[in-house]
Amino acid sequence: MCLRPTLNFFPQIETGRCPSLGLPAKSTPHFPIESGLPYVCDSVEKKFSICFLWFGRINSKYTKRINDLSSIIISMRKYFRVFVITLKQYFVYRLSFVLWRFRMFINLFIVFFLWNAVFLKNQHISYYNRTALLSYILFVNVISTLVLGTRTSDVATQINDGTIMNYLVKPIKLFRHLAVEDIADKFLNLGFVIFEVVLILRFTGSAIFFPRNILLGGIFLLNGVCISFFINLMLSFIAFWTTETWGPRFLYLMLVGFVAGSFFPLDLLPKPLYQLLLFSPFPYLFYFPAKIFLGTVDKQLTIYYVISLSWVLIFWRLTSLMWAKGNKSFSFWGR
């Protein structure tokens, strides 16, 4: 007998021709379909049809999974190319990058030797001895490279000259694209800053603490990186409404230098001011990751983590709203 499966696995069977069963096409009868399964008149043919029916279902399920995996791999390959291109751009403008790193090295050198000179006459400053405070300064310098290293400042220029439209017409997510560029920037700068720290330690012969609580500190550091990323994007999105974006960014960088713990630990400040700063996003950029790496874990660390995560979500939402609103008001001619 001939069978007609509900799923179109074999077109010959559905159209009434069953050459595999040895029946002529004209003499092949059609039978109704019941309960979503093929109607069969023989137990062998029934088993045969059920096997192929389930095979088709399993095959379609795994085909979907394979397609999803393929799309993920293609997407990863696409952003990996963005990562490589970003690294190549730095090597194209090598002198500019070297001068930038030299400037950061001089900044670290000055702050390090300033605190080193302070401890020539003092054994302790508040909770810190010489080794602890110099370790904090070096930790903060490495952390600041990861937190402040960004390519999002280019977005303001792209909005002003209209090249931001390239992101709108390409099959690529702007936030993901910028995040990958930032990762490439941080990856390259991290290698140089580690070399600079080792150079200073060899030159001065100073001893520092080895980083502790690396996993916990890394979690806080990730929040700090996200906060900085979204703040920098918001500062760049100001270009949707004005061309003057350098002023707010400069004020932000100056503010971060003093209230994020870049030059000194924040717990050296008066206690009321210190407790007030804990509710702002700035201590979670440098201060808390450096303190955790130093081995100091506060009893209220869970509360501080919730605060930092809340700031991540707040700035993510504000950045998304600015991007959506800016797209509606954006217009450009000449490209």
Q: What is the pLDDT of residues 207-254, one digit of tens each?
A: 777 888 889 889 999 999 999 999 999 998 888 888 888 888 888 888
Mean residue pLDDT of the chain comes to 76
d(CA 13, CA 53): 13
Q: What is the largest CA-CA distance in the chain?
A: 108
Residue 192: pLDDT band with limits 50, 70, 90: confident
CA 282 to chain centre: 19
pLDDT of residue 263: 84
- pLDDT of residue 52 exceeding 60, the answer is no
| pLDDT above 90 coverage of the chain, percent | 15
User: For position 8, what pLDDT does the model report?
Assistant: 43
Q: What pLDDT is recorded for position 155?
A: 84
> In this model, does residue 117 exceed pLDDT 50?
yes
- Rg from Cα positions in the chain: 31
pLDDT over 50 (residue 19): no
Q: How confident is the model at residue 132 (pLDDT cuts 50, 70, 90)?
A: confident
Averaged pLDDT for residues 256-283:
88
**Is pLDDT above 70 for 72?**
no
What is the model's pLDDT at position 48?
52
Question: For 275-290, what is the mean pLDDT?
Answer: 91
pTM: 0.72
Q: How far apart are CA 131 and CA 207, in angstroms?
A: 6
Which residues, 6+ apart, have CB-to-CB distance to 87 below 8 Å? 184, 187, 188
**pLDDT exceeds 80 at position 267:** yes
- What Å distances lie between residue 266 and 19, 115, 135, 197, 269, CA to CA? 84, 15, 15, 22, 6
Q: Which residue has the higher pLDDT, 149 or 308?
A: 308
Segment 175-179 mean pLDDT: 84
- pLDDT score of 29 more than 60: no
- The mean per-residue pLDDT over the stretch 313-320 comes to 93
Q: What is the pLDDT of residue 214?
A: 87
Predicted pLDDT at 49: 55
